[in-house]
Structure 1
Amino acid sequence: MIGLGRRISIGLAAGTFAMAGALHAADKPEVAAPKPAAAQPANGEDGDVGSAADVVTRHSGTFHGRAIKYSATAGRLPIMGPDGSVDAQMFFVAYTQDGAAPGTRPITFLVNGGPGAATAWLHLGGIGPRKVRLNPDGSVPAPPVRLTDNPDSILDRTDLVFIDAPGTGFSRLSGDAAKGRLLEKRGDLDAFASFVQTYLRKNGRFGSPLYLYGESYGSFRMAGLSDVLIRRGVPINGVVLLSSALDFATLQPTNINDLPYQLTLPSYASIAAFHNRLTPPRTDIDALRREAEEWTTNVYGPALAKGNKLLGAERQRIVDGLVRFTGLSPSVIETENLRIDVPQFMKYLQADRGLVTGRTDGRLVGPPPASAVEEPFYDPAMGDLTPAFTAAASQYLFGELRYDISLPYRMYSRDVATRFRFGRGDADAVVADSDRQTLTALQSTIVKNRNLKVLAIQGLYDLATPYMSVKYTLDHMPLPPDYAANVELLVVPAGHMAYDDARALREMNDATVRFIDASALGTR
């Protein structure tokens, strides 16, 4: 029996793998101050931007086989408005290796996306020293949520600073005026740039190799932030983009933009094969996705470009190809006019089994909830992940890190998500295409810094940001060949939160370690 929201896998093979090796037991943290100072805001709502003392705890762990002692600092930094008052307090947790020379050890700033999501996803998903314990298949165990040591953390190579965007986590905005300034693409980037500069100055880290790491909309942020920091005179060694969204034109179709339908197709094929929905069955997923990439580039894309002039036998060949690569019926494909969007694929792929296919991880499925009318975009891959990570964040920050603040931790802020604008002006104003992409900013950063490297990591089974969308975007970044060689794309067998999959977590973090070693220029 499948419970509502329960994540299950049905397919040719297990899509997730148990993490190899024993997890290391956690050391009891040593609190630096005998009694950490507590913030006492009024009511936990925005407007509560009073200062709170940082809280430092001491820990040790083993990462990639290397034992280190490190400090965890939880605190908030103010973001000042144009009149000198506080626009926002941005919460962070920083992990720094004890005894390391701060001027030479790399430092990485990390952020999630949404907009409206807190950074506990990256923090406790697989990048930080502690992580949420999941079942071997990536599903969530029964409550209560447990945390475990993370031997695959990249803390052995770089200090880590996890930042919550204004209005998320423990970060707060001062009021409507501040929201108008910061809940907007450029104001958002300016706030993060100010945070990074303030942190570097307060902690004497301007000499450290510097990295930016963003997930989902966080990748959009970090690509844009790289250019803002370069313009402010802050050099950057590398940018890591996880589950990227660099240009919304690759994700949001319109009447004259068929690109998203094409770029999602190889992910559809991989997911359909995983669930044994293709005829004949396909077991070599890598070979299948290469075929799908070639077909969508050379056949499907040119056919869709003909619009309503695609007729007769030529149209039928496209229907047949879509049946072959998606596992959907010809009637569904014709009804959707050869253009299958993600919600339709989720709905129809396993409708005969009474199941909805996951969006953030297409390997995971579940029955539709009875509240489908109120939840038209239900994703069975997220049903129990969000409450698990929310509980884990509170457990970890209030408990293990001893951070004492009278605020709820906002794992997701609907207010931030609905207010956020990509262009300046009213929310209903027309937004220029240039405001819905940060690829231009990333290209600008690369050409200004010959040594800067970019690592993009994508999940094969991710329908939120399909891997071919990122490949297409990076391939169309106008760079000379010697500069383009500094941009690497890694596709791992996982979904949007690639770290949920034990095998993918190890693969992506190992790649990040190599990336840092190669781009820090021997300064570590």
Structure 2
Amino acid sequence: MKYRASLLALALLAAATPAVAADKAPKVEKAAEKPVSEPKVFVTEHSGRFNGQDVRYKAIAGETYLYDEDENPRAAIFSTSYIRQGVKDTSTRPVIFIFNGGPGSSSLWLHMGAFGPKRLVLPSDAKDDGAAPYKIVDNDKTLLDIADMVFIDPVGTGFSRAIGKGEGKDYWGVDQDAESIAKFIRQWTTQHKRWNSPKYVAGESYGTTRAAKLAEVLEGGFNGYGLNGVMLISAILDFSTARFQTGNELPYIGFLPTYAATHWYHARLGEQGISVEQHVERARQFAVNEYAPALLKGDRISPEEKARVRKTLAELTGLSEQYLDQTNLRINAHRFMKQYGRDRGHTVGRFDSRYTGIDQDAAGETFDNDPSGYAIAPSYTAAFNHYIADSLKVDLGAREFKTLSGEPGRNWDWAGKKRGGYINVNVAEGLGQAMRENKDLRVLLASGYYDLATPFFAAETTLAANGLVKDRVSYTYYEAGHMMYLHHPSFDKLMQDVRNFVVAGRK
């Protein structure tokens, strides 16, 4: 069975399903609407030592109902809020709204992997997580000493669901998703009296798509909600940069520096005195100045130029010139994951190309499963389910926590109000407008060098081309993959970079 726990694969592989003609569609009896009970909320009090400070905090884990125009509940959003106690002036206390991606993923990855007061510790060197018990520790680098945090699970993920007459499809789409999360954020802000607090959104993977779209939705109009910052962790904002198809050269260009980083890691080029930053920078310059023009020439390229480009590609990526000639200089990411280690009998990971796996069929075109996916999924699910029951006292009976559900991704509305499919989804434009209309809005892009799901150079290129305010965008990089916090030094660096970003926003 193909590996399903992908934070972004659902987004990149989703396809529209042809509608059945109305006169041919079978009649389906709708189930009787179930009565809606009161939201379930679990409150606990805790203390910990974070960044050298003793902190008392309240954890609020539970449901927030979203209502329609007639005040009927239509969705229950499950969230976990951590709020420091004893704060007299909340106007100086930031609040960060945090979520993951998919679409279809809960927020447990950033919750247990990076920002929460407890975190899961896995092997730092791209090894399998094995079986329980797993190591859950106090997270002394959490941001709770300087900010409150709210982890949000969109409808269809975690414990969040449609209720009453609501349906999942009402919330499964680029626009619908952002509007529902914006509604939750506004309700949370009102309930907790935090309208004058500095406010941030932080997302990972498709969560960066959501974060950028949220900036557009929240900032617009006279009912605007001024954000102080948007944190993009392993970003994809323009989906054309990840769509490998004839005539679209962007992915081949955007993925190249990540192929180069992967080769640097596995070929141990560091032992030759070449740093990963140097090898990646060479790939960046080549991608813009030589590779892109060569691809745009198509069959107009001269044999001499093609040979020159092919030779450099081979040096950067470790792929043979013969293979590169056969692919017409274009390297599909899914092929690369199989081809790069083919001679050595292994594949490399998609979320993190430091990981390697062994397929049953060594001659296949792509890997059987993503070794950087199946190496971590069981531990996160087990750790989070244990944590919320044991520490947060959440008891929802037999209701299953959905770590990552395929249903939202399979039914996602990519077309939305103005687009014609997910290849046309580009939320960076709206983020640029939000920055131009809010002088205090800043953006942090955090990227792993070994991320073959949302490659760093594609994200850099997107931010450079969509009207963002350049001097308010910060870039940070890590010697890890999509979930850079799995790598212990990268976790330390990420937490310090995010802390610096929040502290720098203080007035």
TM-score class, shorter-chain normalisation, is 0.7 to 0.9
Identify the residue that residue 41 of structure 2 maps to in structure 1. 54
Distance 2:239 2:34 in 1: 32
Counterpart AA for 2:78: F
Contact 1:213 1:219 in 2 (8 A): yes
Counterpart AA for 2:413: R
Report SS of the residue matched to 1:300: helix
1:196 aligns with 2:185: yes
Question: What is the correspondence of 1:57-456 to structure 2 with a 5 Å cutoff?
Answer: 57-101=44-88, 102-139=90-127, 140-174=129-163, 178-231=167-220, 232-276=223-267, 283-369=274-360, 378-406=369-397, 407-424=399-416, 430-431=420-421, 436-456=425-445
Report SS of the residue matched to 2:451: coil
Distance 1:460 1:490 in 2: 10
Relative to structure 2, which stretch is displaced further, 342-351 or 130-139? 130-139
1:504 aligns with 2:493: no
Relative to structure 2, which stretch is displaced further, 128-137 or 390-399? 128-137
Distance 2:208 2:426 in 1: 11
Offset at residue 135 of structure 1 (A): 2.3
Deviations 1:370-423 (A, max 9, x none): 7999x9662101113111111111111111110110211100111111011112
- Evaluate the alpha carbon distance shift between residue 388 and residue 371 of structure 1 in structure 2; reply closer, same or farther with a 3 A threshold: farther
Offset at residue 424 of structure 1 (A): 3.5
Offset at residue 467 of structure 1 (A): 0.7
Identify the residue that residue 28 of structure 2 maps to in structure 1. none
* TM-score, normalization by structure 2: 0.88
Contact 1:49 1:89 in 2 (8 A): no
Deviations 1:150-186 (A, max 9, x none): 1121222210000001000010123886223211111
- Identity percentage of aligned residues: 33
Deviations 1:216-245 (A, max 9, x none): 100110111012111232111111110001
Contact 1:120 1:411 in 2 (8 A): yes
- Root-mean-square deviation (CA, aligned residues, Å) is 2.5
* TM-score, normalization by structure 1: 0.85
- Evaluate the alpha carbon distance shift between residue 460 and residue 215 of structure 1 in structure 2; reply closer, same or farther with a 3 A threshold: same
Contact 1:49 1:88 in 2 (8 A): no
- Evaluate the alpha carbon distance shift between residue 417 and residue 175 of structure 1 in structure 2; reply closer, same or farther with a 3 A threshold: farther
Counterpart AA for 1:486: R
Show structure 2 runs of 5+ residues with no match. Answer: 4-32
Distance 1:217 1:372 in 2: 32
Counterpart AA for 1:415: E
Report SS of the residue matched to 1:255: coil
Counterpart AA for 2:136: L
The total of aligned residue pairs comes to: 471
Show structure 1 runs of 5+ residues with no match. Answer: 6-45
Identify the residue that residue 492 of structure 1 maps to in structure 2. 478
- Evaluate the alpha carbon distance shift between residue 287 and residue 109 of structure 1 in structure 2; reply closer, same or farther with a 3 A threshold: same
Report SS of the residue matched to 2:167: helix
Distance 1:48 1:342 in 2: 48
Deviations 1:24-51 (A, max 9, x none): xxxxxxxxxxxxxxxxxxxxxx979643
Relative to structure 2, which stretch is displaced further, 61-70 or 222-231? 61-70
Relative to structure 2, which stretch is displaced further, 310-319 or 186-195? 310-319
Contact 1:49 1:172 in 2 (8 A): no
Contact 2:126 2:372 in 1 (8 A): no
